[in-house]
Amino acid sequence: MRLEHLTAEEEDHWRGDFAALNWIFGSLTMSVTLPEFAGGRPALRSMHFGYYLQPLHLNADDREDLPRKLAWALAHRKPPVDFFELSGAGLRIPHAFPQGFTLGSVLRITLQELKKIPLREPL
């Protein structure tokens, strides 16, 4: 597995694509102090943990059910995209994938599956 990160421009592109379907897309980063990697002195660093998707639908049923429905649809594809994690009100997308997947391909597949999931209250 290799780690993948989007550039700021790529993140903006995907953020716009998911926003068109009423979803938030963003990166997960944590600020940490790691003295062992900074020559023994505490230094503020950040660690990247992948990306997240969260629905912005006003209907409470859609807001709660869509992440689960999306995870189920992705896990039942051939080949399965079964490495997403349900997290709170959304999904976490890791930044490392099994062989044959790239971050771009996973995001394209996710958009395709999102378009297929029916909403209880159409936009």
Tell me the per-residue pLDDT of 59-114, one tens digit each, with 9 for 90 and over.
Answer: 777 788 899 999 999 999 888 888 888 887 889 988 777 777 888 889 999 999 99
Q: Domain range holding 37?
A: 8-115
Residue 63 in domain: yes
Amino acid 110: pLDDT = 93
Per-residue pLDDT for 27 more than 80?
yes
Q: What is the DSSP letter of 1?
A: -
Q: Is there a domain that residue 54 lies in?
A: yes
Could you give the number of structural domains in the chain?
A: 1
pLDDT at res. 35: 67
Per-residue confidence band for 41, with pLDDT thresholds at 50, 70 and 90: confident
SS3 86: strand
* Other CB atoms within 10 A of residue 107 CB: 20
